[in-house]
Structure 1
Amino acid sequence: MAGKLTTIGFDADDTLWHNERFFRMTQDRFAELLVDFCEQDHLEERLLEAEKRNLGHYGFGVKGFVLSMIETAIDVTDARVPASVISELMQAGRDMLNHPIDLLPHAAEAVAHCAEHHRVLLITKGDLLDQERKLAQSGLGEMFDGVEIVSDKRQSTYESIFERHGDGPHQGMMVGNSMKSDVVPMVQAGGWGVYVPHGLTWALEQADPPQQASKYHHIDTLHALPDLVDQLSERSSAALGRAPI
């Protein structure tokens, strides 16, 4: 049963700050290093297959990405990949883990507005140390009432988190750039799912939008989030006010 919106969760990577573009830059460098062994399109296909295959072993994040690149380099070169290439890939991973945080437009304002009248959570997946570093550098940490760094995002993930930190998923909202991880499972859990598209989205994070779901919303940027939250809050308050006592 729907209730008043009380708790709002935010994804981190490519919702509040840039992330995927650093993976794309590293992937382009990967293609340059292996240009004598494999065409770029085929290399990208092989890398994506490795990443998908390795998610259960390494999880999401830079470390799993680097290990998948190394595995792919060994495969496409029939184990003849030069040690210098492996060294460069490892350095590329370290560079990614040390890259300064670059907030997306309106991120700070959107979180601050939501925090005025709602509990706000950061719900992100990936490497624990890397995500903690990003949050610390973002300057947004003190705005959140709770931080959850999870191995994956599923319906059960949101049910558990919003029960612990809020009033259950039916009174919660998840805001993010991944249809597969942020929006669809939150809607399945009974909450509001707000899709904020990013220009770059990893292939494994794509999914069909739940167009028929009444709690699904699409906004172009985080600039539109405060108005949406205010509208939904006013609507739910009005509906509760009309309910018989």
Structure 2
Amino acid sequence: MEIDFTGIEVIGFDADDTLWVNETYFREAEEQFAGLLEHYETKNKIDQELFKMEMKNLELYGYGIKGFMLSMIESALELSNNEVSQATLSKIMNLGKKMIAHPVELLDGVEEVLERLAKKYRLIVLTKGDLLDQERKLERSGLTRYFHHVEVLSDKKETNYQNLLDHLEIDVKEFLMIGNSLKSDVLPIINIGAQAVHVPFHTTWQHEEVSVDHEEHRYLTVNSLKNILDYL
């Protein structure tokens, strides 16, 4: 399948697990959370109930570490029938704080790719999550200078993308989105008439998993962000 990027003027980048590592730290925190509650339930049950709680709270807290932390606390209370100790709750809080304070770990080739593409295209960041946390990570990353605009969205659906592109006066035919999530970074973009590149990350949050017939959707998949330079 031939992909033509000759008309692209603006490139949007997802942040978490596209520019820097993110999901890995959530998985590590989940492991530690299950260890803190091992006296109450099995690890599999704890994982299941935590995910259910995250989905239940998504509309209230949105995406990001703070909502995840609150869901861990609520799950701990439910799984323990409100018997979990204050010391354990404090440890759960510290798991979240540790995640927030974690150094930003750029993925391989990110700065090289941005430096090359910034010379030819207008680059923007389009990500989900907590505004303060994402702004903090972008600042720590040292990548701010490559981007013309940064937008932290409450969600990544067709309307979110279309409204933002309209606001920034970007023609969908001239826009390309690059990200690790088919559900959030690729399919909504294809559906509004723009183009997308999928860069899979080795770990995917269960909520972002989706089954797609690649033949029915025109998008490029590359193994590494650096491979994008072969096409742009």
TM range (shorter): over 0.9
Among 40, 53, 62, the alignment partner of 1:59 is 62
The C-alpha deviation readout for 1:128-169, integer Å capped at 9, x for no partner, is 110001000111101001100111001111112223335322
Give the alignment's Cα RMSD to 1 decimal.
Answer: 1.5
Would you say 1:194 and 2:210 are equivalent positions? Answer: no
Among 44, 47, 63, the alignment partner of 2:50 is 47
**Which deviates the most, 130-139 or 206-215?**
206-215
Tell me how far apart the structure 2 counterparts of residues 34 and 109 of structure 1 sit (CA, whole Å).
43
Report the Cα offset of residue 228 of structure 1: 1.8
Number of residue pairs matched? 228
TM-score between the two structures when normalised by the length of structure 1: 0.89
1:57-206 residue pairs with structure 2 within 5 A?
57-165=60-168, 167-206=170-209
Report the Cα offset of residue 213 of structure 1: 4.7
Tell me how far apart the structure 2 counterparts of residues 3 and 151 of structure 1 sit (CA, whole Å).
31
Tell me how far apart the structure 2 counterparts of residues 23 and 148 of structure 1 sit (CA, whole Å).
22
**SS across alignment from 2:214:** coil
TM-score between the two structures when normalised by the length of structure 2: 0.94
Tell me how far apart the structure 2 counterparts of residues 59 and 128 of structure 1 sit (CA, whole Å).
10
Check conservation: 2:113, 2:229, Cα contact below 8 A: yes
**SS across alignment from 1:175:** strand
**SS across alignment from 1:54:** helix
User: Which of these two proteins has the greater Rg computed from alpha carbons?
Assistant: 1
Which AA in structure 2 matches 1:226? L
**SS across alignment from 1:117:** coil
Would you say 1:228 and 2:215 are equivalent positions? Answer: no
Name the % identity. Answer: 38
**SS across alignment from 1:137:** helix
Tell me how far apart the structure 2 counterparts of residues 3 and 156 of structure 1 sit (CA, whole Å).
25
Tell me how far apart the structure 2 counterparts of residues 163 and 6 of structure 1 sit (CA, whole Å).
15
Question: Which residue does 1:209 correspond to in 2?
Answer: 212
Tell me how far apart the structure 2 counterparts of residues 172 and 48 of structure 1 sit (CA, whole Å).
34
Report the Cα offset of residue 64 of structure 1: 0.5
Change (3 A) 1:138 1:155: same
Which AA in structure 2 matches 1:64? G
Tell me how far apart the structure 1 counterparts of residues 129 and 144 of structure 2 sit (CA, whole Å).
17
Report the Cα offset of residue 3 of structure 1: 7.9
Change (3 A) 1:38 1:164: same
Which AA in structure 2 matches 1:44? D
Check conservation: 2:12, 2:123, Cα contact below 8 A: yes
Tell me how far apart the structure 2 counterparts of residues 54 and 41 of structure 1 sit (CA, whole Å).
20
Tell me how far apart the structure 2 counterparts of residues 156 and 42 of structure 1 sit (CA, whole Å).
36
Query: Which runs of 5 or more residues in structure 2 are unaligned?
Result: none
**Which deviates the most, 205-214 or 56-65?**
205-214
Query: Which runs of 5 or more residues in structure 1 are unaligned?
Result: 230-245
The C-alpha deviation readout for 1:92-111, integer Å capped at 9, x for no partner, is 11111111101000111112
Which AA in structure 1 matches 2:164? I
Tell me how far apart the structure 2 counterparts of residues 79 and 214 of structure 1 sit (CA, whole Å).
48
